[in-house]
Amino acid sequence: MFETQYVLAWLVYCSSGSACCFIWWRMTSHISHRGWRDLARGFVVVFIFTPWYAGDSPEVFAPAIVVLLMDLLLEGAKAGMKGGIALLFSSFAMLVILTLRAILLRK
C-alpha cells in the first residue's frame, strides 16, 4: 500500500511540475537574450525536479527543495543542508550544460 501511494504522489508531483515548467517556459519566452532565458528556465527545472533522500531512509525520495526547507525549519541552518548540497550540484551541472551548449552553438 505504501509503495502505491509513493508512486502516485511522485506521478502527481511530476505532472504538476511539468505544468509549472510549461507555464514558466511561456512566461520566459519574451526574454530576448537566450542566455538569460535558458538560465531562468534551467534553475526552475533544477529546483522542481531534483530529488533527494527524505529522512534517514535511502529508498524514499522527496524533492530536494522540500528536503532543504523542511531541514531548515525543523533542524536549523547547520544541520539542514542535505537538500541544499543536491541543489548546488544540480545547479552546477545545469550551468556546465548551458555553457557547453553555448560554446557548441557559437561554432
**Average pLDDT in the chain:** 90
Q: What is the pLDDT of residue 106?
A: 85
Beta bridge partners, 63, equal: 51
pLDDT tens string 57-90:
778 899 999 888 888 888 877 766 778 888 999 9
C-alpha–C-alpha distance, residues 45 and 35, integer Å: 15
pLDDT at position 45, please?
96
Decide if 14 contacts 61 (C-beta within 8 A): no
Record the pTM: 0.83
CA 80/CA 38 separation, integer angstroms = 29
Say how many C-beta atoms besides its own lie within 10 A of residue 24's C-beta.
Answer: 16
Of 103 and 57, which is predicted with more confidence? 103
The three three-digit cell numbers of residue 48, written as one number = 522542481
